[in-house]
Amino acid sequence: MAKGYFQMKTGILTGGGDCPGLNAVIRAVVKTAVHQHKMDILGIIDGYYGLINNKMRILTLEDVSGIMPRGGTILGTSNRDNPFNYFMIINGKKVYRDVSDRVIKNIHDSVMDALIVVGGDGTLAIAERLFKMGIPIVGIPKTIDNDLSATDVTFGFDTALMTATEAIDKIHTTAESHHRVMIVEVMGRNAGWIALHSGIAGGAHIIIIPEIPFDYDAIVKKIFERKGKGKHFSIIVVAEGAKPKGGDVVVKRMVEDGTEPVRLGGIGNRVGDEIERMTGFETRVTTLGHIQRGGSPSPFDRILATRFGAEAVHLVAKGEFGKMVSLRTPDIISIPLEEAIGRQKNVSPDSGYVKAARMVGISFGDI
Ligand code: F6P
């Protein structure tokens, strides 16, 4: 059993893909717990893996000192290790088992009074199941994808957006110098938030998002329209979840034991090959990949993570469980976990963002 200093002990785990701001949230949780509520915080190592395998340690003020600007999570994370579908090898055979009873035993053995789960939809859906089994849980939303409808925005998104925008700025100059079509593939799973926002901020000419299926002819039309105006280069931002009209997404790999097994990726190259063939323009593709998940969190993400962390501890202290903290600008509120999960937030093709982008001449590759 991890020994603490105070009577009450709350666990914290970070699950799913990491994102900038996780350390800021851990810091806020520890500081609020120690200073305001005389509560110990037990850090669980590597997300649900640590709960299943009993890997946890007390986090002191010293542990969280100076971690705010650091990307990643000092606790480690995992987007596999689902306690309800846990991968193991038994007698040389790959099998999946429900080990949630092991998780509950470990929680009781560690004398944990409550658990704060920081994660995206997959991680929070597991948290909700554990809550229904009697574990006192409070959720905190995070993801660079910004695809949770239960909060105005998740922390991690703003920093990923900065990274993608900076990359597009850099691509711009080389595209112009070489008179090329340059494609930047960004993350976001089945939501186009990173592509839409970075595309607008980076001055892209074409933005391809999952919510607006594209047509190659429409992309080509835009490129030639620009050529006709003396612009011999074009920047296309493509979301990894984009798909052509009547077509499907490009799957990069399947992660069998993941909470969300499909990994997207490769649409950028597919679009690049086709555009080069159709236009004769030399085309290059840059896939930003996990760079978008790293780096020091932006001030916005640090502040949002701090507010979420502090509020989550207050909920624990008040005994309000089965809730998730959420930003409803300008307030931090809490909503039932079961209302928060399974409701993906997508870009509306009629949104003001899309309209404004079209006004300034950006094509979505649809008309
Ligand atoms: O959800 C965050 C995210 O970075 C997605 O944008 C991306 O599709 C996925 O995770 C990548 O997952 P992995 O780290 O397993 O490759």
pLDDT given at position 3: 67
Rounded CA-CA distance 279/283 in Å is 9
Residues 139 and 70 in one domain: yes
Instruction: Give the model's pLDDT for residue 7.
Output: 84
Please check whether residue 225 lies inside any domain of the structure.
yes
- The reply to whether 165 and 143 lie within a common domain is no
**Mutational test site, ligand 1, from 80, 144, 154, max ligand atoms within 8 Å of CB:** 144
Instruction: With a cut of 70, list the residues of the chain below it in pLDDT.
Output: 1-3
Residue 189, domain extent: 160-293+348-359
Q: Tell me, what's the pLDDT at 258? A: 73
CATH of the domain at 34: 3.40.50.450
The answer on 19 and 115 residing in a single domain is: yes
Question: Residue 361: its pLDDT value, please?
Answer: 98
Of 208, 190, 185, 191, nearest to 290 by C-alpha is 185
* pLDDT tens digits for range 179-229: 999 999 999 999 999 999 999 999 999 999 999 999 999 999 999 999 999
What domain count does the chain have? Answer: 2
Tokens of 66: 């100076």
Does 3 reside within a domain?
Answer: no
Taking alpha carbons only, the member of 4, 102, 137, 122 closest to residue 58 is: 4
Distance from the alpha carbon of residue 17 to the mean position of ligand 1, in angstroms: 6
Say if residue 151 is in the same domain as residue 35: yes
Same domain, residue pair 145 and 17: yes
230 and 246 share one domain: yes
Residue that is written with structure tokens 């798909």 in the block = 243
CB 301 within 8 A of CB 20: yes
pLDDT of residue 147: 96
pLDDT score recorded for residue 156: 98
- Are 205 and 107 contained in the same domain? no
Closest-lying ligand 1 atom to the alpha carbon of residue 240: 8
| Same domain assignment for residues 316 and 284 | no
Q: Under a CB-based contact definition with an 8 Å cutoff, are residues 238 and 267 in contact?
A: yes
Pocket around ligand 1 at a 6 A CB cut-off: 17, 79, 120, 143-145, 187-189, 240, 263-264, 293
From the CA of 187, give the closest atom in ligand 1. Answer: 6
Do 92 and 218 share a domain, yes or no? no
CATH at 221 = 3.40.50.460
**Residues classed as catalytic:** 145
Atom 10 of ligand 1, residue of closest alpha carbon: 17
Task: Say whether both 219 and 274 belong to one domain.
Answer: yes
Query: Residues 224, 355: one domain?
Result: yes
> What spacing in Å lies between the alpha carbon of 62 and ligand 1's midpoint?
31
